[in-house]
Amino acid sequence: MIGALSEATTAVAVEDLTCLFSDRGLVETDRLAEQLHVTKVELARATGLSRDALSKRARSNSPKTQQRLRDTVDIINRAIPWTGSTARAFAWFRSQPLPSFGDKTAEDLLKEGRAQAVKDYLSRIADGGYA
């Protein structure tokens, strides 16, 4: 019972990444990297941003950087319900080829500036549609 409770508590803690936003509505890069169990350098690679964009406060708070991070959080959040965890959703984001997009991954599409296409794709799946 205690193990089940611990698992349930952990699942709730990572159920949604929206808790990673600051009071000003900015994605906190340190917390996002920590939640995804990656370094800032790895997070930069996964999002197609430069290392400096995530390491320097002025650049990490820029509209372009924040939009890319918001898109990343939104895509991962949309995948959590059917992947089961943040870690699995992030693994899906980085490695699952999407046939509807020529077998590119969500990560590839995000880097190409096609985050909205991924979100639309995930919305169709959530609504019971086909990929």
So what's the pLDDT on residue 71?
98
Classify 125 as helix, strand or coil: helix
Contact, 119 vs 75, CB < 8 A? yes
Non-local (6+) Cβ contacts of 34 within 8 A are none
> What's the pLDDT score for residue 131?
56
Rounded to two decimals, the pTM is 0.83
CA distances from 77 to 2, 45, 62, 101, 126 (A): 27, 19, 22, 20, 12
Local mean pLDDT, 10-residue blocks, the chain (131 residues): 39 64 92 96 97 89 96 96 94 97 98 98 82 56
Torsion-angle region of 24 (φ positive above 0: left; ψ -120 to 50: alpha; else: beta): alpha
Q: What phi and psi values does residue 118 have, to the nearest 5 degrees?
A: -65, -45
pLDDT given at position 53: 94
Q: Residue 105: its pLDDT value, please? A: 98
List the chain domain ranges: 23-126
At residue 129, the pLDDT reads 63
Q: Confirm if 44 and 50 have CB atoms less than 8 A apart.
A: yes
What pLDDT is stored for residue 130 in this prediction?
A: 63
